[in-house]
Amino acid sequence: MSFESFGLDSALLGALAEAGYTTATPVQQQAIPAALAGHDLRVSSQTGSGKTAAFLLPCLHQFAAQTSAQAAKGASPLDAVAREAGSRKRAPGARTTGPVILVLTPTRELAQQVMRAARTYGARLRALRVASIVGGMPYGPQLQALRAGSELLVATPGRLWDFIERGAIDLSSVKHFILDEADRMLDMGFIDDIRKIAALLRPERQTLMFSATFGGAVGRLAQSLLKPDAQVIAISEKGPDRAAIEQRLHWADDLRHKDAMLDRILADADIDQAVVFTRTQIEADGLARRLFEEGHSVASLHGGLPQGMRNRVLQGLRQRRLRVLVATDVAARGIDVPTITHVVNYGLPMKAEDYVHRIGRTGRAGRAGLALTLAERRDIPAVHRVQQLMSQAIPVAEMPGLEPRFRPRPEQPRAKRSGPPHRKGGPGRFASSPGNNGTRGRPRAVGR
Binding residues vs ligand AMP (CB under 6 A): 21, 24-25, 28, 47-53, 336, 338, 364-365
Nearer to ligand AMP, 170 or 181 (CB): 181
Pairwise CA distance, residues 235 & 230, whole Å: 16
| Pair type for strands 369-375 and 340-345 | parallel
Please, which residue, 25 or 437, has the CB nearer to ligand AMP? 25
We find the least distance from the C-beta atom of residue 170 to ligand AMP, in angstroms, to be 29
Q: How many C-beta atoms lie closer than 10 Å to residue 23's C-beta?
A: 10
Cβ closest to ligand AMP, residue 109 vs residue 398: 109
- Minimum CB separation of residue 64 from ligand AMP in Å reads 19
Least CB distance to ligand AMP at residue 327 (A): 16
In the complex, the smallest distance separating the C-beta of residue 49 from ligand AMP, rounded to whole angstroms, is 5
Query: Least CB distance from residue 59 to ligand AMP, whole Å?
Result: 14
Torsion angles phi and psi, residue 269, rounded to 5: -70, -15
357 contact partners, CB below 8 Å, separation of at least 6: 47, 212, 329, 332, 333
- Select 190 or 210, whichever has its Cβ closest to ligand AMP: 210
With beta carbons less than 8 A apart as the criterion, state whether 337 and 317 touch. yes
Quick one: 334 or 347, whose CB is closer to ligand AMP? 334
Residue 338, C-beta contacts closer than 8 angstroms, at least 6 positions apart: 364, 365, 367
Cα–Cα separations (whole angstroms), residue 122 to 99, 129, 134, 237 = 15, 9, 21, 29
| Choice between 162 and 336, CB closer to ligand AMP | 336
Cα 293 to Cα 256: distance, rounded to the nearest angstrom:
17
Residue 340 Cβ, how far from ligand AMP at the closest point, in Å?
A: 10
What is the Cα–Cα distance from 168 to 146, expressed in whole angstroms?
Answer: 8
